[in-house]
Amino acid sequence: MKTFYITTAIDYVNAAPHIGHAYEKIIADTIARWHRLNGEDVFFLTGTDENAQKNEQAAREKGVETKRFVDVNSKKFEELCKKLNISNNDFIKTTEKRHVIVAQNIFKKVYEKSDIYKGFYEGYYCEGCEAFLTEKELVDGKCPEHNKEPIWLKEESYFFKLSKYQDKILELLKSKDFVIPESKRNEMVSRLENEGLKDISVSRNKLKWGIDVPINKNHKIYVWFDALINYVSAIGYPNGNKFKKYWPADVHLIGKGINWFHSVIWPGILFSAGMKISKHIVVHGYLTVNGQKIGKSLDNVIDPINLVNKYGVDELRYFLIREIPFGEDGDFSEDALKNRINNELANDLGNLVSRSLTLAEKFKGETQGKDELSKKLNLKLINEYMDKFELHNALSEIWKFVNDVNKYVNDKQPWNLEGKELSNVLYNLLESLRIISILVSPFMPETSEKINKQLGIKEGKLKNCKFSKTKYKIKKTEHLFEKIK
255 binds ligand ME8 (CB under 6 A): yes
Of the candidates 87, 40, 37, the one whose C-alpha atom is nearest the C-alpha of residue 460 is: 37
Q: Which member of 4, 6, 24, 220 binds ligand ME8 (CB under 6 A)? A: 24
Are β-strands 251-255 and 3-8 bridged in parallel, bridged antiparallel, or unpaired? parallel
Are β-strands 280-284 and 41-49 bridged in parallel, bridged antiparallel, or unpaired? unpaired
11 binds ligand ME8 (CB under 6 A): yes
Q: Which member of 4, 5, 12, 318 binds ligand ME8 (CB under 6 A)? A: 12
Instruction: Measure the CA–CA gap between 432 and 372, rounded to whole angstroms.
Output: 10
Q: Which member of 6, 70, 228, 409 binds ligand ME8 (CB under 6 A)? A: 228
Minimum CB distance to ligand ME8 smaller for 228 or for 409: 228
Q: Which member of 5, 20, 162, 318 binds ligand ME8 (CB under 6 A)? A: 20
Of the candidates 196, 195, 194, 176, the one whose C-alpha atom is nearest the C-alpha of residue 281 is: 176
258 binds ligand ME8 (CB under 6 A): yes
Q: What is the footprint of ligand ME8 within residues 32-91 (CB under 6 A)? A: 49
Residues 6+ positions from 243 with CB-CB distance below 8 Å: 232, 235, 236, 237
Q: Which member of 142, 286, 333, 354 binds ligand ME8 (CB under 6 A)? A: 286
Residues 6+ positions from 347 with CB-CB distance below 8 Å: none
Q: Which member of 4, 5, 6, 10 binds ligand ME8 (CB under 6 A)? A: 10
For the chain, the straight-line distance linking the first and the last C-alpha, in angstroms and rounded, comes to 48
Instruction: Measure the CA–CA gap between 142 and 154, rounded to whole angstroms.
Output: 18
What are the E-state strand segments in 304-415?
Answer: 330-332
| Beta-bridge partners for 117 | 159
254 binds ligand ME8 (CB under 6 A): yes
Minimum CB distance to ligand ME8 smaller for 147 or for 351: 147
Least CB distance to ligand ME8 at residue 11 (A): 4
Minimum CB distance to ligand ME8 smaller for 172 or for 254: 254
Q: For the CA atoms of the chain, what is the radius of gyration?
A: 25
257 binds ligand ME8 (CB under 6 A): yes
Residues assigned a catalytic role: 18, 21, 126, 129, 143, 146, 293, 296
Minimum CB distance to ligand ME8 smaller for 223 or for 465: 223
Q: Where on the chain is the footprint of ligand ME8 (CB under 6 A)? A: 9-12, 20-21, 23-24, 49, 227-228, 230, 254-255, 257-258, 286-287, 294
